[in-house]
Amino acid sequence: MISTFPFDLLEEIFVTAQIHDLPFAEQYQVEGNAALATAVSQVCQHWRDAALQCSALWTYIPYIGSQQPQCALQLSESIKRASGRLLTLFVQFHVKCDNDELGIIKGWVNNHVGQLKYLSIDGIDPEFDPTRIHLGLMPLGEPRFTHNIIGAGKAPFLRSLSFSVADGAKRYIASGLPGYFRDGFGALENIRVARLGTASNLDIVKGLTTVVLDNINMRYARELILGPSASTLTHLSLGQEERRQLPPTIDPLILTALHTLVMSHNSIGILHVSTPHLKVLKLHDYNILWISRLLSVHESLSLAQVEALYVHFSDFRVRDRDFHEGLLESMFLALPRVKHLELVGSIHQVESLLIPWRNMLGNNVTQNWPELQKCTVESDRARTILADALHQAGRWTVEVSVRS
């Protein structure tokens, strides 16, 4: 019966089955959506006619290194079927990427950059042949590949840009990256940069709302990426720094609109900024000692408005009970308005905080997150410890659950 559905209904079903509206073009999303488009077009003639008529179905374009020429032709056909719609392009370079492959990608970008809405480029590596036309390192006078991707004014509809550099290639990209991040984008809101060396002539666009930084120099990132968007940035994710550096002695950069901050791998990037209106703080894969060190300077962090705190502990144990009580006191002082709390890690890590917290709950409730509404832990045992302690302290309204 479904084979007789009208085209408009089938088109809606096809597009709804795809994954949309992620902040960045992810490999699983783009490959999955492209595969779905191909699959539904091969079910029967009726479905094929509906799929080929649905241009929105073909807007996800993956290129995963060193594919066969026929694959490249298939992807070009997908672009044609998109009929001028805005595209989501994910490119992953193969470690042995050659000039023919680069030529294919360069041609796509040159011909369709005006259609791009999402662009992710993974594994940029200019080392394989520096005498030829390659990424970021080219003979004098040759247009760099990166110019074609992020050239000013060439991508007026690009909303999201993500690119990472292959390990060991940083020094080349740093020397060759053009200063082309200017106001020519217009629509750019989200940018994700991983393992990128920073050139002194890098000019970043203004007005970003989402920034993800991983393994880069935070001092440069502060000046060139975060600074121009300090009043518009709402979501910031900071991974491991290129070199963990204490911030300069100048005042921290004030991010007035920041709502959500995600930090991972013991990042100290938060020490470079001030977040007076922050509502959500997520710490992923954090050594408990680093959390303590961060909170020891809480007065400069501006965390008093945080309402949701998520902590994922790395596998590092401290057996000193006094240390955990001190850490809890620092958390209460630095984050006094927490309403939602999630603690994830080994049972030993979580219990090392829950047990002293249980002992502290009977002392002064007003200093133990009086606005707390919900706690999420990772095991039934941790839930039992916390729920019993909260109930004994009269905190009946706090919901305690196990993370699904």
- 156-186: per-residue pLDDT in tens? 888 888 877 655 544 444 333 344 444 446 7
Residue 323: what pLDDT?
77
**Using CA atoms, how far apart are residues 382 and 348, in angstroms rounded to an integer?**
10
CB of 385 within 8 A of CB of 353? no
Residue 302: what pLDDT?
80
The neighbour count for residue 141, using CB atoms within 10 Å, is 5
Residue 250: what pLDDT?
64
CB of 106 within 8 A of CB of 145? yes
Residue 256: what pLDDT?
92
Residue 316: what pLDDT?
65
Residue 234: what pLDDT?
95
pLDDT beneath 50: ranges in the chain? 125-148, 152-153, 169-184, 198-202
Residue 307: what pLDDT?
95
Residue 154: what pLDDT?
65
pTM of the model: 0.81
Q: What distances in angstroms separate CA 127 from CA 107, 138, 193, 200, one per listed residue? A: 21, 11, 19, 21
Cα torsion angle, 371, 377, 383, 388, sign: negative
